[in-house]
Amino acid sequence: MAEALQESPSQSRPVTWPAIGRANYYLAERLLNTIVTVSLHEISLKTVTFLGPTGLPAGRRLLLEMTSPKRTLPLMVEVEVRSCTEVGDRGWRVNCVWAKPITLDEMLLFV
């Protein structure tokens, strides 16, 4: 009976790890002077969170150019903003989902 009350892994929150590295994105579509550099915060096979200087609206799609000490060549990934939270003087925490799934090997480059 106790087993029936437990959540299945597919229904639980994805396991996230603290992320290392940085990402760049364009604030305005392909305008070079609008590149924003952010610090990666958390990463999972389904989500990525970064700390940035501005909030972004839910539903906004971004092309992230991600680098880390383990990967100097950028990994280009598309994400969709799900939520955004102000974190005081540290800026904004932006929670995103991957538009296309990433692999475990790709994720491990950023943990």
Paired tokens of 36: 């924003």
- The pair phi, psi for residue 48, each rounded to 5°, is -145, 140
Query: Tell me: the pLDDT tens digits for 12-42?
Result: 556 889 999 999 998 766 656 688 999 999 9
Asked if 81 and 55 count as a contact pair (C-beta separation under 8 A), the reply is no
Band (pLDDT 50/70/90 cuts) for residue 104 is: very high
Domains of the chain as residue ranges with CATH: 13-108 (2.40.10.220)
Query: Tell me: the pLDDT tens digits for 64-92?
Result: 999 999 987 999 999 999 999 999 888 99
SS3 sequence of 16-55 = CEECCCEEEEECCCCCHHHEEEEEEEEECCCEEEEEECCC
Place of tokens 């538009």: 99
